[in-house]
Amino acid sequence: MVLRHLGVTVLKSTIPPLRVPERTLWLPTVVTTEALRSYGVRRVYETNLNADGSAALRLRDRMVDLGPNELACYRKLVEWLPTRFDGAHLETDLEGTGMSGERLTRFARHLADAGLLYRIDQVPATVSGAEFYHEHFAPVLDAWLSEAFSHPFWERMVSGRGSARLFVGWLIELYHYTKNANRHMPLSVAYAHEKPLKQLRAKHYAEEWNHYHYFLKSLRHLGYAEEAIASSVPLPMTLALSNFMRQAAREDTLAYSICSAVLEGTTTNRGSFNPYHERVTELYGVPKEAVKPIYDHLDLDVQYQHSNLFLEILTHVDSIPAVRASRILDYGHQLVEHIWMWTEAIERYYEADNNPVPRRPFDPFLD
């Protein structure tokens, strides 16, 4: 088992590799179910399998390389942990791997040292708002954004296998989602009980409510009439994304705010979004006038410092119980999964030439 840390944007080794000698794993005893139940499983964002059966597992801040036997045992352990089966059941599943008893317990400790597992009793009962941001949100944001934008659509667009039609479709759905901010941002204000949080959420809404006009301006430069876009119907997944934000706003102001922070996470550096827009102008004949409003919108977000809003909100939060902190993080990651599925829906609909662009509302006289 080899541990490699991740840099901010590239893989690089920052600590000596951690190797687990196989001979230390095979000592006979009886497995202690309670000892294994003391571990939780950390999220793996990507698994790259090698021809020899080994694999590289990408966590939020590191890569862990597992040999074929280690990988098989790790997977069985991860499958067993959420179940009610005893340790004997796990040993049966691991039969033939040479892993049992104290060897398995020691293996779990090595997995925890590598970052694939964590000790449940080491999870703090509460964290402050600042601790939540710096220790739990900020370290994972890059990994979340990488996952959100790992959809093949983006590579397709910058490699020349996309189309102007796909770019238009993405803009139309972005217009609808941004306009639908008026369905969920007011809820985030209404359901914020603490005055400082209510004021910050209201300020954010006042600065964002009409930003859909930027995408409408882009679409006008692409030849679309304002009336046709305004009367068009968003994809169901676009509405699902908006409804998810409404749900977050009603349940927990911080859950809503972490989702908003993820969405704002790509606006802090022009280098993160310039290549995409530059390539679509080169490859698909998209006029630069159609891209300029998008840049203007991103620059305005930077000017408003919206990427700092979540931290500003959290500075007013003295304590977050562990259960609530977990729920907030879960909302943030579900937002990441929504973005991926939203991108999938956009690609599937707008790549089909027989689908109308923009999507027309249902008309009983025509349909």
Residue 180, domain CATH: 1.20.910.10
Instruction: Report the Cα 151 to chain-centroid distance in Å.
Output: 12
What SS3 class is residue 39? strand
334 found inside a domain: yes
103-63-265 Cα angle (round to 5):
135
pLDDT at 290: 94
Q: Both 333 and 262 in a single domain?
A: yes
Strand-pair partners of 66:
55
Nearest-Å Rg of the Cα atoms of the chain is 24
The Cα 49–Cα 66 span in angstroms is 10
**Which residues of the chain register pLDDT less than 50?**
5-30
Q: Does some domain include residue 320?
A: yes
Let me know whether 109 and 177 are in one domain.
no
Number of structural domains, the chain? 2
Pair 175, 215: CB distance under 8 Å: yes
Q: If 0-12 CB within 10 Å is exposed, 13-18 middle and 19+ buried, where does residue 99 land?
A: buried
Taking alpha carbons only, the member of 318, 320, 305 closest to residue 124 is 320
pLDDT of residue 150: 92
Condensed to tens digits (0 to 9), the pLDDT of residues 68-113 reads: 999 999 999 999 999 988 888 888 888 877 777 788 889 999 999 9
Q: Is 365 part of any domain?
A: no
Q: Which pLDDT score is estimated for 303?
A: 82
What is d(CA 290, CA 284) in angstroms, rounded to the nearest whole number? 12
- Domain boundary residue, one of 107, 122, 137: 122
- Closest listed residue to residue 6, CA positions, set 49, 65, 51: 65
User: Is 100 found in the same domain as 8?
Assistant: yes
Q: At a CB cut-off of 8 Å and minimum separation 6, what does 186 contact? A: 205
Examine residue 362 and state whether it is found in any structural domain, yes or no. Answer: no
Question: What pLDDT score does 91 carry?
Answer: 82
Do 224 and 287 fall within a single domain?
yes
Extract the tokens encoding 248: 């977050």
- Number of residues written out for the chain: 367
Task: Give the pLDDT score at 4.
Answer: 54
Element (H, E) at 357: none
In a shared domain, residues 32 and 135:
no
pLDDT in tens, 287-337: 999 999 998 988 888 887 888 999 999 999 999 999 999 999 999 999 999
The pLDDT of residue 86 is 86
Q: Which domain holds residue 328?
A: 126-350
- Percent of the chain exceeding pLDDT 90 equals 71
